[in-house]
Structure 1
Amino acid sequence: MKTFIILFAVLACTLAKETMVNLADKDPRVLQSLFKSFQHAEGRHYANAQEARMRLKNFRKFVGDMAKANDEDEGVEYGVTFFADLTEAEAQQYYGFGNSTAPAPEVDAPAPEAPAPEGLQYGSASHKHRYNSAKHQNTCGSCWAFTTVGMLEGWAHIKTGQKPLLSEQQVLDCSGSSNNCGGGWYYEALGYIKNNQHLASASQYRYENRKGSCRRTSYGNAMPFKITGVYKSRGDADMASRLNSGPLGVAMDFRNINFRGYWDGVWSNTNCNQWPNHAITLVGYTSSYWEIRNSWGTGWGNQGYFKITRRVQNVCQIASNAWFITTGSQQELEE
């Protein structure tokens, strides 16, 4: 029997999936207790009793939906996440991908390296040490900026062995990409950084969950390498080859609401093939799945990471807008 687990800072209980259905429909006292624990863990404070009732209703539906998903999706575990009490309009704020067709790939893209041997698991769970902890974009639809910075932080570790925290806020303020908190394109942001060869540290240029005025000249450069090219990948096989060098920026169709409660396992549900609406950082692969770093914090997924099957070509449109960079050295950056 597949087990559904809910973990909160103040309450931990393990429940069989049938019990989760009961929580959603038949046991309001237990559900209320879990709801209070959720409020505490997520720091939720509601304006009045009317809002609290509305949030509890949302929570009950979310628990029921995830219980049903646990019944139906083999190999994936779902649970309560920060999405659990949100309205649909509020949940949509946590996406933010561009809504126009991406340009054609540059014709001078370099040839990819040979693919790594199957089973190497480059960049996957055993290689998460290459990356900083997953960050949280909050309610600004800035996933494209977090994808950009996720790529560059991964490259920084590959180049130097260090894991600098770079500034999403500079990308949001200065790159001129699309609609800012309303969505954007990571290839435009990468082009901006390539043109300026500058990205401040996150500790200096702090994330504000909104677009502000560009303050690039106020801070030093924390990026320890030079971007020499920005290119579009050409399909699943090419993505795997590019990943042997470093992370890619990709986008997926996240409209399937089960994504919101994803905890762990390999997603293989193909009910996700509309135009991509959420950008993420592709960090590795195995013979059976892609490994992704999201921007919904460490409380979503497996410490902020997500696996999706490689056994379906362009699953959830993941290969439709995959971009990679080529890099130079710090010495070239200083010249």
Structure 2
Amino acid sequence: MILKFAIFISLLGLSCASLRADFEGFISKFGEHYNQNEVRLRYKLYKESRDEADHHNGNPNRSWNMAINKFSAMTDQERSQYLGLRNESESLDVSGSLKFKSQAVLGNPASVDNVALGFVTRPKDQRSCGSCWAFAAVAAFEGAYARATKVLKSFSEKEILDCTYSDRDGCQGGWYDNAWLYIQRAGRLAALKDAPYDYARDRDCSYAGKVENGIKNARYVNYYTVSRSDSELESAVARAVVAVAMIVEKSFYSYGSGVYGGCSTNGNVGHAVTMVGYTRDAWKVKNSWGRNWGEGGYIRFSRSKNNNCRLADFAKFPVVSFSDMNQADSADSTSPRRRAPNHGCSWGDDYPCSDLNCNYGCQGGWCWSQCNGFCGITGNQQRCENCKEWCWLSAKCSKHEDCSSHSVQMTSGLSVIGTQLCEPQLDRRRQVSGPGLRLRPGYAPSPNRE
């Protein structure tokens, strides 16, 4: 009996050591910065996510796989920051908007993929800002623009965030049809390269005359509202890239691949995404949580349920018409562009450096980041010596601490039988002395703040 107990203790220790190693890999992969006070909570959340994924993926009859991703160690409140639809009553159609009705006498194609057709830009990352509505609006506009002009280019979610609402910050939520009304009213929208996404930097809506209009040889006309049925949604997707709203259940955050079963309830919608295609069995949807979520930023929803996750209830898409004004216009480059990695840049990313794909911002073509996950904001930016990294600190940057790669070291923990978790500890050599302000993951002030 004693021998068996000793073997059990030994195996449990190995299991915990393996889990700790996985957790270290998770921290490194997703560029997380945890201080000593929170690492135990993050480890607990990570372990719960791992256990749930292992249990789900062990079912031989599953249609989709769970994955470990950037949400795996977040609380429910932190995850909710990645949503952003306001209440449903705000989605009322304005007078003069168009009602879409299918006129396909011979029916729709058996399958449609607007990505393959060249009407969809690469998935983007809204980060912890309730701006999903802006990303859905821009994605649908990009599709309409590409169909009208034969030019596929990325447009600016930042201008939409700053200009759509005068009574609130864009990260506090909104609706995609309101974003299109801004485009109609202003007659403009910047290209992404001219107004990159930097949700941490508040600015007035002062783009006209300062930032070039990215809309060339075209004009926004109106938007269509699709009748609330799967058949009408299919007809719309066969003709356009469509912004839709959806219910978000906890399992959605952990989606990795396959055909997602969908929602078990019929509550309020809380997230905006973009419908880009379909097959007989699945809807193809573009999300705005980066290319490291789901199937390269996409998810497939099962069509076995009628109006799955309420995807058909708020389906809308804009209309853009071609108008030849002899303006030079060009599509975004599709050739791979890789930059040398530096601290603060997102992993495995082939976008050029911009506020869209750097963890905390971009300065002069280089990413910058918080140092050690702490930020004592003084209003003065400092640059780490001998590296391309920008820090906001109350003290000078230290080459050893601030320009080295950010990782959390775990000491050998104690495996405990029962309900307690294996206990990870931060290496005390990585602690930061002095006062500092802890910012939420993915947030820091822009280094070129005015």
Normalised by the length of structure 2, the TM-score is 0.64
- Cα gap change, 1:157/1:56 in structure 2, threshold over 3 Å: closer, same or farther? same
Q: Who is 1:15 aligned against?
A: none
Pairwise CA distance, 1:240: 1.2
Deviations 1:16-42 (A, max 9, x none): xxxxxxx99982111111111111111
Matching residue within 98, 113, 119 for 1:130: 119
Q: Who is 2:337 aligned against?
A: none
Match status 1:59 vs 2:53? no
Match status 1:246 vs 2:240? yes
Report the secondary structure of 1:181's partner residue: helix
Report the secondary structure of 1:141's partner residue: coil
Pairwise CA distance, 1:113: 4.4
Matching residue within 88, 93, 108 for 1:116: 108
CA contact (8 A) 2:281 2:302 kept: yes
Number of aligned residue pairs: give it: 307
Matching residue within 195, 217, 228 for 1:205: 195
| Distance in 2, Cα, partners of 1:108 & 1:290 | 24
The root-mean-square deviation of aligned C-alpha atoms, in Å, is 2.5
Moved more, 98-107 or 141-150: 98-107
Q: Who is 2:178 aligned against?
A: 188
Q: Which residue type is aligned with residue 245 of structure 2? A: A
CA contact (8 A) 1:123 1:291 kept: no
Pairwise CA distance, 1:332: 7.7
Pairwise CA distance, 1:270: 3.2
Q: Which residue type is aligned with residue 141 of structure 2? A: L
Task: Pick the structure with more helix per residue.
Answer: 1
- Cα gap change, 1:186/1:29 in structure 2, threshold over 3 Å: closer, same or farther? same
- Cα gap change, 1:258/1:45 in structure 2, threshold over 3 Å: closer, same or farther? same
**Structure 2 regions of 5+ residues with no counterpart?**
1-10, 328-450
- Cα gap change, 1:47/1:116 in structure 2, threshold over 3 Å: closer, same or farther? same
Moved more, 67-76 or 296-305: 67-76
| Distance in 2, Cα, partners of 1:288 & 1:28 | 40
- Cα gap change, 1:282/1:108 in structure 2, threshold over 3 Å: closer, same or farther? closer
Q: Which residue type is aligned with residue 266 of structure 1? A: V
Q: Which residue type is aligned with residue 256 of structure 2? A: W
Q: Who is 2:307 aligned against?
A: 314
| Distance in 2, Cα, partners of 1:24 & 1:144 | 46
- Cα gap change, 1:25/1:311 in structure 2, threshold over 3 Å: closer, same or farther? farther
Report the secondary structure of 1:241's partner residue: helix
Normalised by the length of structure 1, the TM-score is 0.84
Moved more, 270-279 or 137-146: 270-279
Moved more, 186-195 or 203-212: 203-212
| Distance in 2, Cα, partners of 1:270 & 1:24 | 36
Pairwise CA distance, 1:167: 0.4
Pairwise CA distance, 1:281: 0.8
| Distance in 2, Cα, partners of 1:204 & 1:297 | 20
| Distance in 1, Cα, partners of 2:279 & 2:238 | 12
| Distance in 2, Cα, partners of 1:178 & 1:247 | 29
Report the secondary structure of 1:249's partner residue: strand
Q: Who is 1:267 aligned against?
A: 260
**Structure 1 regions of 5+ residues with no counterpart?**
1-22
Match status 1:220 vs 2:202? no
| Structure number with larger C-alpha Rg | 2
| Distance in 1, Cα, partners of 2:27 & 2:83 | 22
Matching residue within 262, 269, 282 for 1:276: 269
Report the secondary structure of 1:83's partner residue: coil
Pairwise CA distance, 1:161: 3.6
